[in-house]
A and B are shown apart, each in its own frame.
Chain A
C-alpha cells in the first residue's frame, strides 16, 4: 500500500455533539429543585385502651391557636393578626416576667450544659375544615419562626453564635432547652363553610 503508515487521526468533533445530546436529555427528564418545606411529626393515633387523662396539661401551659374558616386567627382568647402571632408566641414561651397566667418553667438538667429553666409551654394548633392551606402554612411558619428566634437568642447569649452556626452537640442542647412543642390537635369542626 502507500508509504504512509500513520493511522489517520480519528475525528472527535462529533463526540461533543453526542455528549451535548445526552446532556440535554438529562436536563429535560430530571429535576433538580431541592424540596423544601416545614417538617412536622404527627402525634401517633391514640390507643383505644389508653385514657386521655395523662394528656391533661395545666391550663396555663397551653396556648390554643385557632384558625377559622375565614382564615381569622385566635390566639389564646383574643383575635390576632398573623403579623403579631410571632411575638405573642415568643412571650408565651419565654414568659419573661414569670407571670402567673403564662407557662411555668421546670429546672431541667441538660447534659453538657447544666441546669436551665425549660418552659413547659405547648402550642396547640386547631384549624377548621374550611381553613385555607395558605393560612395554615402561614401560621405554622410563624410558630416555627417564634421558636427559631428564641433558639437564636439563647444560642447567642450562651455560645455567642446563631443556632445554625453551632455544632451538632450544641444544637442538641439548644433544642433541649427550648423545645418545639407544637401539637396538632384532633380535628374539630367549627365552622360550616366547606
Chain B
C-alpha cells in the first residue's frame, strides 16, 4: 500500500451529496410521467366491485368518468342517501349526461373521438335501475364504448 501512503490526511472526506438531488429528481420525473393529476374530488362513496377478468384501460386521457354511489357524509344532509350521479365535480341528473358527453367530446381531438370510452364507476351496492338509465342515455348520445370499473379480485 505504499502507493497510497503518500497522503497523510486523517480526515475523512465529506460525502458529496450533490448526486442525491439527481436521484430525487429522477424519482420526481418518474412520478410526473407515470401519474396523472387528480382532477375531481369524489363526492360519492364508491366501492368498486371485484372481477377476475378485468382488462386495463387503454387510453387514460380518453376516458370520461361517471361516478355513481351514495353521497359522502358531508353531502348527505343536502343530497340524501339515495344513489346519485357525479359528473366532474358536482351532482348531476341523468339528463346532464348528454351535455357532459358532448363537452368531453369537444375537448378531445378529432381523431381521438372514436376511441373515447366512458368509465362507469359505480358502487357495488347500487341498484341496476340507475345504471340502466345511464346506459340508455349513453346509447342515445352514441357513446357506446363503456367500461364497468372493477378491481382485480384478490384470491
Contacts known (A36-B152, A42-B144); A128 close to B51, Cβ less than 8 A = no
Q: Looking at chain B, what size class is its interface with the partner chain?
A: 35 or more
Selected from A23, A133, A144, the residue in CB contact (under 8 A) with B24 is A23
Contacts known (A31-B38, A35-B57, A42-B138); A194 close to B127, Cβ less than 8 A = yes
A179 at the interface (CB under 8 A from B): no
Q: Are A187 and B136 in contact (CB under 8 A)?
A: yes
A130 at the interface (CB under 8 A from B): yes
Per-position binary interface string of chain A over residues 132-172, scored 1 when its CB falls under 8 Å from any chain B CB and 0 otherwise:
11101110110011001000000000000000000000000
Q: Are A37 and B35 in contact (CB under 8 A)?
A: no
Contacts known (A35-B149, A133-B123, A133-B125); A141 close to B139, Cβ less than 8 A = no
Contacts across chains A and B counted by CB atoms under 8 Å? 159
A77 at the interface (CB under 8 A from B): no
Other than the given A15-B18, A38-B51, A133-B131, 13 more pairs (CB < 8 A) read A23-B28, A30-B35, A31-B38, A36-B57, A37-B150, A42-B145, A129-B132, A132-B124, A133-B124, A136-B131, A137-B51, A187-B132, A187-B136
Binding site for B on A (CB under 8 A): 12-13, 15-16, 18-20, 22-23, 26-27, 29-32, 34-45, 67, 127-134, 136-138, 140-141, 144-145, 148, 184, 187, 194
